[in-house]
Structures are given as C-alpha cells and as structure tokens.
Copies of this chain bind each other. A is one copy, B any other.
Amino acid sequence: MPRRSQTDLAVLGALSTGPMTGYEVRRLIAGTLGHFWSESFGQIYPTLTRLERGGLVRRSGTGRTSGSALEITTAGTARLRELLAEPHVTTPPRNGLLLRLFFGSHLSSDEVESLLHQARDRAREALAGYETVRDDIAGDDSHEQAYRTMTLSFGEHAARAQLAWAEESLAALPAIREGSSRARG
C-alpha cells in the first residue's frame, strides 16, 4: 500500500464547488474543511500547477482582484470521482494531550487539571465556531448542503463528547488527588 497523498482530492474537491484562486483554495481548506482536514500551504500551489499540467484544472479569467481563477475541467471532475471512490485513509491519531494525561502520574494534579481545562475550553470554542458555520449553511439550499450539514454534525458530536468527558474528568479529579496523597503518606 503506497503512501498516497490525498491532497489532490482535497484540492479538486474544493474547486468542484466553483472556480477560485489558489489563495481561496487555501482559505477554503483552512476554514470549512479545517475541522477534519488540513493541508499545508506549501503543498497547495505545487499541487495546482501539477493538476493544471495534467489538464485536470485550467485558468479561467481573473480572480476578484488579481491573480487568475482556477476551474476544474471535465477530466478533473472525473478524476475527483475516481479519488472519492478510493478507500479512504485517516492519519493515525497523535493526541499530545491524551498522551500526557496517560502518564499523568508523573504530573502534579495542577498540571493535570490544566490539561483538562485546555481540552474543555477547546471543545467549547469548537462548538461556538460550529454554530456560526451552521448559520452559513442554513442560507445555502444547494444539494451540497446536506453533506455539509453531515460533516458539521460530526464535528458537533465530537466536540460535545470531548466537553462532556473533560467535565466528568475534572469532577473526578478531587478523588484522584486524595488517592495519590494518601498513597504518598
């Protein structure tokens, strides 16, 4: 199983929603897709020129201010569908917060509490962000709306779960604190 980049998929997908400049592709991926996908900016322009050379994308007039807008071609749409049908890979998780929590016995209980506060606050921020996204989507009644709602809903479920977990864990902390101080003497 060769290590295949899914950057093409993300970029073609972005362009499938309409012509835009490379800068706008960047922003779309960092913004809307940001909750479940990320591309480093250093990848996007090289990918766009490669796709253009391959005839999957073409220049079409100028963008809003300067630069040229990019448009997906028929071949590009076909390629997008191919890529969508391929088995998906999700990068293995690397959650630095949970890694630290797992070895929490080496931390002071204040440090543990701080980690949990961070997790809780991050979940709250995510939820607040999703609310505005939901408002954006509401004004959109294309056939793409349903799928945006679906992915948004995933984010909301995940954030609510993290929030609930963080609050439960914070509530459990005093008992752990007692336990470890009893163990130490």
Interface residues of A (CB under 8 A from B): 6, 9-10, 13, 16, 33, 35-38, 77, 80-81, 84-85, 88-107, 111-112, 115, 143-144, 146-148, 150-151, 153-154, 157-158, 160-162, 164-165, 168-169, 172, 176, 179-180, 183
Contacts and interface: CB of A to CB of B under 8 A. Distances in A.
Contact of A165 (B80, B85, B157): B157
Nearest to A89: B96
Nearest to A182: B143
Contact of A98 (B91, B102, B151, B176): B151
Contact of A169 (B85, B148, B153, B176): B153
Nearest to A102: B151
Given A90-B95, A160-B161, A161-B161, A105 B38 contact: no
Q: How many copies of this protein are present in the complex? A: 2
Q: Binding site of A, secondary structure by majority: helix, strand, loop or mixed?
A: helix
A37 B38 CA distance: 18
Given A101-B150, A158-B165, A161-B161, 11 more contacts: A9-B99, A35-B93, A36-B102, A38-B94, A88-B99, A88-B100, A104-B146, A143-B183, A153-B168, A154-B162, A157-B161
A98 B172 contact: no
14 contacts: A13-B103, A33-B99, A36-B102, A80-B103, A84-B111, A88-B100, A90-B97, A98-B154, A102-B147, A103-B147, A105-B143, A112-B147, A146-B176, A150-B172
A85 B111 contact: yes
Given A158-B161, A161-B160, A37 B93 contact: yes
Top 8 nearest A-B pairs (CB, nearest first) are A88-B96, A38-B92, A161-B161, A104-B147, A36-B98, A91-B94, A157-B161, A157-B165
